[in-house]
């Protein structure tokens, strides 16, 4: 017996030809509907299998050719972190260069102040030596003041040289150079 067959009623009356024809027509329509449902199910299953295979094949080819999206995302993240690290190190280098420039400016200001003091001392020494020579002081006092004046002039000339070096250094570092040349001073 067919599993989807409808049970027939046992009528005591015999069926007419028209009723038999209507029942045959209903069975044909039922069989057509079942065939159509089977066809739709098969089409959906085939379409799903084809889509799954095509996606799998696409991913397989991408991975086999070396275009792994997970690896490229990791590479982007590492490139981003490298650029952030480079930006951080660049900022640190800039801050360090700015600190060095500030130190160089302070040192130049100190040298300039020392140079002014030395030139004032030299002026005072030359004024006192001028008074000693005009007053007819002893020769030993005049020579000692000349020695002090020459020592002060040597000191001020060495300070001028070091301050010009520090100005050149501070100008070079303010123009964007990050390297600072060492400043050497000679002491007398």
Q: For the segment 90-145, what is each residue's pLDDT rounded down to a tens digit?
A: 888 888 889 999 999 999 999 999 999 988 888 888 877 766 555 444 444 444 44
Q: Is the pLDDT assigned to residue 177 strictly greater than 60?
A: no
The three-state secondary structure class of 49 is helix
pTM as predicted = 0.31
| 26 vs 158: CA distance, rounded Å | 122
Contact of 170 with 108, CB cutoff 8 Å:
yes
Q: Is the pLDDT assigned to residue 47 strictly greater than 90?
A: yes
């Amino acid at each position: 017996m067919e599993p989807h067959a409808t049970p027939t009623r046992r009528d005591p009356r015999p069926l007419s030809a028209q009723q038999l024809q209507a029942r045959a027509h209903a069975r044909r329509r039922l069989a057509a509907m079942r065939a159509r449902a089977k066809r739709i199910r098969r089409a959906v299953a085939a379409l799903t299998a084809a889509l799954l295979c095509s996606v799998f094949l696409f991913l397989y080819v991408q991975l086999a050719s070396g275009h792994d999206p997970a690896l490229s995302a990791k590479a982007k993240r590492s490139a981003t972190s490298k650029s952030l690290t480079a930006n951080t190190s660049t900022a640190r280098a800039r801050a360090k260069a700015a600190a060095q420039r500030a130190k160089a400016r302070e040192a130049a200001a100190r040298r300039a102040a020392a140079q002014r003091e030395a030139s004032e001392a030299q002026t005072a020494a030359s004024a006192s030596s001028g008074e000693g020579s005009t007053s007819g002081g002893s020769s030993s006092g005049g020579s000692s003041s000349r020695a002090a004046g020459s020592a002060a002039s040597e000191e001020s000339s060495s300070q001028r040289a070091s301050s010009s070096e520090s100005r050149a250094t501070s100008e070079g570092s303010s123009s964007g150079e990050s390297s600072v040349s060492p400043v050497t001073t000679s002491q007398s």
